[in-house]
Chain A
Amino acid sequence: DIQMTQSPASLSASLGETVTIECRASEDIYSNLAWYQQKPGNSPQLLIYDANSLADGVPSRFSGSGSGTQYSLKINSLQSEDVASYFCQQYNNYPPWTFGGGTKLELK
């Protein structure tokens, strides 16, 4: 199975700041990577797929990039509604679909 490692596990940032979350795969996943956002008390929602394609309705301040085994999620101009946990997921080799451990983003 492909292992997904996210960093950092938690992050504190100020409003308006730019935030970057990293995700590393145990092998090349050829950009078959998604990001999900889970706001407190809610279910996860698809944010980005194919490493850099925004899902419907996702604000343009979110962006994804990367290739091979290294990927990142960037949030420009952090808003209060972005407080959430973020999970990466690979779908290059499934089943199983595997997720990263998550990054909890809080406001400073």
Chain B
Amino acid sequence: EVQLVESGGGLVQPGRSLKLSCVASGFTFSNYGMNWIRQAPGKGLEWVAYISSGSSYIYYAETVKGRFTISRDNAKNTLYLQMTSLRSEDTALYYCARRQYYGPVMDAWGQGASVTVSS
């Protein structure tokens, strides 16, 4: 069974940093591109970042470019999102999501990690 389990969320002050992790199981993690997608409270979905299976291709949403860094450790089956210079508008539930093997859609999602940016 495919499983994605996020961790590392919490309450953080504006301007501070936080690092999310997503541990994958039930599939060959190193074969799949991965995404971070967030959902502000009561709002829709916003794609945040993507990393290809071998980390050769990395993309960011304009809203987080220069502040967030996506990375992965295929030996540990783990995806990361390092978030710096956090703002109140970054408050959201952050999901890691697997890119479909043969296409660009997200075919598996974790349960999410909650990030609240507030003083």
Contact = CB atoms under 8 A, between A and B. Distances in A.
Interface of A: 32, 34, 36, 42-46, 49-50, 55, 87, 89, 91, 94-102
B105 A87 contact: no
B7 to A, nearest CB: 15
Given A97-B47, A98-B47, A46 B59 contact: no
A43 B47 contact: no
A43 B62 CA distance: 24
Contact of A97 (B95, B104, B107): B104
Contact of B104 (A36, A45, A91): A91
| Tier of interface size on chain B | 20 to 34
B61 A95 contact: yes
A94 B103 CA distance: 12
Nearest to A42: B111
Contact of A95 (B59, B97, B109): B59
Interface in B20-60: 35, 44-47, 50, 59-60
A43 B95 contact: yes
B45 A49 contact: no
Given A34-B106, A97-B35, 11 more contacts: A36-B106, A44-B45, A46-B105, A49-B103, A87-B44, A87-B45, A89-B105, A89-B106, A95-B47, A95-B60, A96-B61
Contacts of B111: 42-43
Given A43-B95, A46-B105, A49-B103, A99 B112 contact: no
A97 B61 CA distance: 9
Contacts of A91: 103-105
B13 interface: no
Nearest to B48: A96
A100 B44 contact: yes
Nearest to A102: B44
A82 B109 CA distance: 19
Nearest to A95: B59
B110 interface: yes
Contacts of B35: 97
Interface in B42-99: 44-47, 50, 59-62, 95, 97
